[in-house]
Amino acid sequence: EFLKTTKQSFDLSVKAQYKKNTHRHSITNPLAVLYEFTSQNIKSFDKHFEKARNNALGFVTKSYNDAKIKFDKYKAEKSHDELPRTFQIPGYTVPVVNVEVSPFTVEMSAFGYGIPKAVSMPSFSILGSNIRVPSYTLILPSLELPVLQVPRNLKLSLPDFKELCTISHIFIPAMGNITFDFSFKSSVISLNTNAEVFNQSDIVAHLLSSSSSVIDVLQYKLEGTTRLTRKRGLKLATALSLSNKFVEGSHNSTVSLTKKNMEASVATTAKVQIPILRINFKQELNGNTKSKPTVSSSMEFKYDFNSSMLYSTAKGAVDHKLILESLTSYFSIESSTKGDVKGSVLSWDYSGTIASEANTYLNSKSTRSSVKLQGTSKIDDIWNLDVKENFAGEATLQRIYSLWEHSMKNHLKLEGLFFTNGEHTSKATLELSPWEMSAFVQVHASQPNSFLDIPDLGQEVALNANTKNQKIRWKNEVRVHSGSFQNHVELSNDQEKAHLDIAGSLEGHLRFLKNIILPVYGKSLWDFLKLDVTTSIGRRQHLRVSTAFVYTKNPNGYSFSIPVKVLADEFIIPGLKLNDLNSVLVMPTFHVPFTD
């Protein structure tokens, strides 16, 4: 209703006031050193100044006299050789204004054309009237350079410096109290703002701003205070708050600094409320150096989205934490994050979670790190996924170790099109140390689906090696439909023998032999082998094969000596030399058995 008339009015008021402070700040002024330096070297300055003064006066006097002699000579020659020149300017009439200008002359001096000697100004009259201005002649003086007289006993010297009193401090007035008021009133909104800064035992700043309006969105209140305390160190405290129909928030922070400790804390909260979205945010940060430097941070974020127009909802939260510790002997950091979401789109419900943890520890002798990840996702009965990851590592001066683990479960179902349900796990380790190494890799997967049924698939590899024993192992297992295949290979070596083991097995039904017909006999392969006597179609058959190879080493070996020179920082092994570089190696003829 405030827009029913085009005539609007408002009131505006602004007031600012500054109250001076009687206290002053003292700043040390090191001018005493400058005074002492000047008084000790003033005589030397006078000698250099007098010498520079005499050289400057001599140079100026000589230059001026040389210029005057050349100018007088040029003027005399021109006056003697050339006569004065006169320029005649014809008369003319200025159009539109009907002004008639009579002819006039300009007489130039004989020595040049740059400066006129006499100028005869023209007369002019306005046609059709009795207004007439007569002509007149303007004579300009000739240019001459005067004689420069420089006294012989010119005295020009530096003044005497005398230190009356020593100013050891500079005083600056302290900041006073400041007050500011602002007011605005209209038919739509009224604003009031007050800001104050007081400098007393503490420095305090305060801000208050508010509004009132017929529109709820334009109503707000903002209030803030900052205080600086200078007793027993420095302490800065700040508080700020905001309230509105849709937005609310607050901020509080404190920073304290003393000779032995430093401490800080920050807390912030915020809320947003609109018809389709609600958000809550909270953040905290703390740090101190009492026993050891420590910093901790936490953040929490929650949201709720609901829109009937989009036929969708979403609700979730995110939580994050961080801790940092440090000393001269070690460094540690820990971090964790958690998040979840749950909602719906059209008629489908969905949900998901994610979590992560990470930490690192470092000192002068070792370092350790680990990372964990976990996530889930689900959409009704169509999709389901669960993933886990884990990594850990450690390194010292004598050992390096790492571990990786992975697991996943999945489910996908499309009505009438596709179906699968699987599980995957993996693990790997690695360990290194001087003259020793071990590694292990294991993979297991199961992913049956509507197209191909592979219920189980596994692989495993292991390696161990040192200066005395070496061993490597490989294991494989595959299951398809009603059959399975397994094999195992292991190779080992030590100081006494080398060993190789190979084993394999095959398991399954032989009913497919009923479908293989021998054309000559007119029977199936099952009947031809008369397998009914020893087995049946419903029984599973097994086939296992294994073998082993062993090599026993001879302790009586051959030794070869190599001449090695051992120096302070290197080893020298002499190479082989040929006496005759052009010699030719001749191989005798020989006969290959069982051939021509």
pLDDT reported for residue 9: 79
Q: What would the two tokens of residue 198 be?
A: 């007081």
**Is residue 316 in a domain?**
no
**Is residue 20 in a domain?**
no
pLDDT reported for residue 113: 43
**Is residue 417 in a domain?**
no
Residue 461: C-alpha distances to residues 389, 429, 468, 493, 544 (Å): 20, 11, 20, 17, 21
**Is residue 35 in a domain?**
yes
The span from the CA of 352 to the CA of 384, in Å, is: 10
For residue 501, give every residue at least 6 positions away whose Cβ sits within 8 Å of its Cβ, in sequence order, or none. 488, 489, 490, 491, 546, 547, 548
Domain boundary, last residue among 130, 165, 200: 165
How many of the other CB atoms lie within 10 Å of CB of 539? 12
pLDDT in tens for each of the 596 residues of the chain? 455 556 677 889 999 998 888 877 777 766 667 667 766 676 777 777 778 877 887 788 888 788 878 777 766 665 555 555 666 767 666 554 455 666 766 555 544 444 555 666 666 665 555 666 676 666 655 555 566 555 555 555 555 555 555 566 777 888 889 999 999 998 888 999 999 999 888 899 999 999 998 888 889 999 999 999 988 889 999 999 999 999 999 999 999 998 888 999 999 999 999 999 999 999 999 999 888 899 999 999 999 999 988 889 999 999 999 999 988 888 999 999 999 999 999 888 999 999 999 999 999 899 999 999 999 999 988 899 999 999 999 999 889 999 999 999 999 988 878 888 889 999 999 999 988 999 999 999 988 887 776 678 888 999 999 888 999 999 998 887 777 889 999 999 998 899 999 999 988 877 778 888 888 788 888 888 887 888 887 788 888 899 999 999 888 766 667 777 777 777 777 765 545 556 555 556 666 555 55
The span from the CA of 546 to the CA of 585, in Å, is: 48
- φ/ψ (deg, to 5) at 130: -95, 20
- Helical residues (DSSP H) of 104-233, grouped into ranges: none
The span from the CA of 240 to the CA of 223, in Å, is: 6
The span from the CA of 95 to the CA of 92, in Å, is: 9
**Is residue 36 in a domain?**
yes
For residue 232, give every residue at least 6 positions away whose Cβ sits within 8 Å of its Cβ, in sequence order, or none. 258
Q: Are 502 and 478 in contact (CB under 8 A)?
A: no
- Assign 215 to helix, strand or coil: coil
- φ/ψ (deg, to 5) at 247: -130, 135
pLDDT reported for residue 424: 92
Centroid of chain to Cα 75: 78
- φ/ψ (deg, to 5) at 527: -70, -35
pLDDT reported for residue 456: 80
Domain boundary, last residue among 149, 165, 181: 165
Centroid of chain to Cα 40: 57
How many structural domains compose the chain?
Answer: 2
Domain boundary, last residue among 111, 146, 165: 165
Which range of residues forms the domain containing residue 568? Answer: 560-595
**Is residue 55 in a domain?**
yes
The span from the CA of 229 to the CA of 289, in Å, is: 20
- φ/ψ (deg, to 5) at 102: -80, 165
The span from the CA of 537 to the CA of 534, in Å, is: 11
Q: What would the two tokens of residue 317 be?
A: 């939260």
**Is residue 146 in a domain?**
yes
**Is residue 178 in a domain?**
no
Q: What would the two tokens of residue 484 be?
A: 């399975």
Give the residue among 74, 79, 77, 141 at the shortest CA–CA distance from 110. Answer: 79
pLDDT reported for residue 112: 46
Q: What would the two tokens of residue 88 be?
A: 């005649």
pLDDT reported for residue 304: 95
Q: Are 512 and 525 in contact (CB under 8 A)?
A: no
